Amino acid sequence: MSAIGGIFSDEDVQDDQLAVLKRSLSRIPHDASGAWRSGRIALAAASRHTTDESTIQVQPFVCDSGKLAAVFDGYLLNPDELAADLEAGGAKLVGCSEVELALRAYEAWGNECANRMQGEFAMIVADLATGQLFAARDHMGTVPLYYRREGGRIIVASDFPTLAALGETLGLGAMTPDRLYLAQIMANRWYLREATPWQEIKRIVRAHTLRFDGKRVIGQKYWTPPTEVTIRYKRDEDYAEHYREMLFDCVRRSLRSHRKVGVAVSGGLDSSAIFAIAHRLEGSGQSPAPSIAAYSLAAEEGGNAFELPYARAVAAHVGRDLAEVPLFDPDIDWYTEDGARHMDLPTPSNGAMMWGLEERVVADGARVLINGGGGDEWLQGNELYYSEYAARGEWGKYWQALRRDADAFGWQRAFKRSMRFTSAELAPRWLRERIRTRLRAARRKSDAAMNWLSQDLREALSEAEERYEAELPDNAVGWTKRNTATSPFSDLSHQLMRRQRSLIGVESRHPMLSRAFMEFSLRTPIDIKMRGAMTKVIHRKAMAGILPDEVVSRTNKANFTNTGIDQQFADYVRANASTQLAEICNLHGLQAILDVDFSAPEGDYWAWEIWGLYASAAFLYQ
């Protein structure tokens, strides 16, 4: 885990510029820091060691010729395979650290290197031979990386304060808020991939590389989520076996660390499975970590977030201790200060709840915390199995699904559901597009969230939606898969949680967001995930015996909405909307949400919108 940055200037990089870059990155907890420059290009990093290899790595890493230098943030899931491929191609590896592998991969495969690297990462390479700065982010964008370009200069960094400090030193001028980005935050409608809260700063898009040669910024996608079903078995047992082997491998690769690894255990199906699998890997001598330790949030008993009975059941089932840490629950001033510290939006309350747990993990000596993030997106399933059956002409399975749904919901609801998705699949493309256009128009007209935006921002957000939709497949199954894998909302959530954990000094890892895990979900039929009222079907089958029965059969889910802080957010908006949001909001339309009682169930429905309004107002105030 590191903070990284780079400069490509129109003249030689100066001492003070490099010093600012290095000093700003060093705000995060780190074990080593370093900087490098050659003429117009400079790199710097502040590194937190999380693996054996990283303890001896030097960042920036420079090749023997001095023509290539690299910095790297994150970790790789496939370092052994990558090293073998590089050595087979003639590369001479010194220590196999992530940053060395990243540089050698670029040296061997150029702009195609990122597609060979699997994990959670961001990287920057200075290529003096071609005179370009190269950067890349992982397939899900779990590790943030931003850039600001002006004329023949570009600066790249892990965070906004570093870009702001560099911009001031380089004389790039003041930064201004991006009103359209804030509009999507306030409306909770997500269509912008490159935008950030600052007009002058863009994010490198996930699964993309970026090149700058002093004249042009060239972005290139290196991975596209597959949408075709290519993994088929006749029996559920075969799917379960394949899934189990894949998940064990994903967890094993995520455990690579030179210190004890923390495992976040909520008691849900996903994190519980990762904990139980990590325990089995350790017991069989297959875990690359020296040990593991389990941590769970101790919410108030009787509340919607109280999951301790399930987490305790898993711990008892595998025979391990469970550290129970109270939810972090600060008042609104903490959130406002958090946003100001990062020159960004404040952390949402459900993310802030993890602060105490993450501090405990670091205090216990761990540098890595793995969790079940991604399970809901990739295991839950949806009713689009009707579309898949219709597209393949599998009417026998279609009838079986209809009967299952009728048993779960009644024939009227089941038939209505099946017709909705069947007609969407069988309709000609032109008709699907016409229906989708009309549905979008109707939704916008009745969308209360859009009504509190100013007229120009409503129109701009609608145009952004049209552009976003145009990039997605026109059939329902492909649209849903691609949207799940590329939604800009997850960029925000990864960005906010990554910066929190960097500040604490722990690296989060997500086995269920690895490419192998996601591609298994994308390439298998939907009906192995959802049948009738049951979700995560194949996961439950694969985890039978590995998890206790009360967790495998669990159908309820915790709710981590914090009604107390939501009420404070709402009060902040009521008090400050007329001054801080007047230029971007219709204050009359805003009344619709300000009239909501956020201590009542209705408040839960609007929780993201009220956070977005508060976060935008607080950001504009700073």
Per domain, the residue ranges of the chain are: 2-221, 236-379+490-552, 427-471, 563-621
- The 3-state secondary structure of 374-419 reads CHHHHHCCCCCHHHHHHHHCCHHHHHHHHHHHHHHHCHHHHHHHHH
pLDDT digits (tens, 9 = 90+) for 77-109: 999 999 999 999 998 898 889 999 999 999 999
Residue 474 has pLDDT above 90, yes or no: no
Non-local CB neighbours of 498 within 8 Å, separated by 6+ positions:
142, 143, 144, 508
pLDDT digits (tens, 9 = 90+) for 161-184: 999 999 999 999 899 999 999 999
CATH number of 2-221: 3.60.20.10
pLDDT digits (tens, 9 = 90+) for 590-621: 988 888 887 777 778 888 999 999 999 999 99
Residue 453 has pLDDT above 90, yes or no: yes
Q: Grade residue 589 by pLDDT with cuts at 50, 70 and 90.
A: confident
Determine whether 319 is exposed, middle or buried from the number of CB atoms within 10 Å of its CB (0-12, 13-18, 19+). Answer: exposed
CATH number of 236-379+490-552: 3.40.50.620
Residue 445 is predicted with a pLDDT of 73
Lowest mean pLDDT among 121-135, 366-380, 410-424: 410-424
Among 516, 518, 617, CA closest to 576: 617
Residue 3 is predicted with a pLDDT of 96
Lowest mean pLDDT among 163-167, 283-287, 437-441, 501-505: 437-441
Residue 349 is predicted with a pLDDT of 93
pLDDT digits (tens, 9 = 90+) for 112-159: 999 999 999 999 999 999 999 999 999 999 999 999 999 999 999 999
Write out the H or E segment, with its range, that includes residue 212: strand 208-212
Q: Grade residue 442 by pLDDT with cuts at 50, 70 and 90.
A: confident
Residue 432 is predicted with a pLDDT of 73
Q: How far is Cα 65 from Cα 148, in angstroms, rounded to an integer? A: 29
Non-local CB neighbours of 563 within 8 Å, separated by 6+ positions:
598, 599, 603, 604
Q: How far is Cα 448 from Cα 259, in angstroms, rounded to an integer? A: 50
Instruction: Tell me the whole-structure pTM to 2 decimals.
Output: 0.95
Residue 301 has pLDDT above 90, yes or no: no
- Counting Cα atoms < 13 Å in the Cβ hemisphere of 68 gives 19
Average pLDDT, the chain: 93
pLDDT digits (tens, 9 = 90+) for 7-30: 999 999 999 999 999 999 999 999
Q: Residue 221 CB: number of other CB atoms within 10 A?
A: 12
36: left (phi over 0), alpha (psi -120 to 50) or beta: beta
pLDDT digits (tens, 9 = 90+) for 325-338: 999 999 999 999 99
Among 622, 621, 613, CA closest to 568: 613
Residue 305 is predicted with a pLDDT of 81
Q: Grade residue 563 by pLDDT with cuts at 50, 70 and 90.
A: confident
pLDDT digits (tens, 9 = 90+) for 181-236: 999 999 999 999 999 999 999 999 999 999 999 999 999 999 999 999 999 999 99
Residue 377 is predicted with a pLDDT of 94
Residue 449 is predicted with a pLDDT of 79
Residue 600 is predicted with a pLDDT of 77
Determine whether 363 is exposed, middle or buried from the number of CB atoms within 10 Å of its CB (0-12, 13-18, 19+). Answer: exposed
Q: Grade residue 425 by pLDDT with cuts at 50, 70 and 90.
A: confident
Quick one: average pLDDT of 544-554? 96
Grouping H, G, I as helix, E, B as strand and the rest as coil, residue 268 is coil
Non-local CB neighbours of 179 within 8 Å, separated by 6+ positions:
457, 583, 584
Grouping H, G, I as helix, E, B as strand and the rest as coil, residue 135 is strand
Local structure of residue 112 (DSSP, 8 states) = G
Residue 603 is predicted with a pLDDT of 77
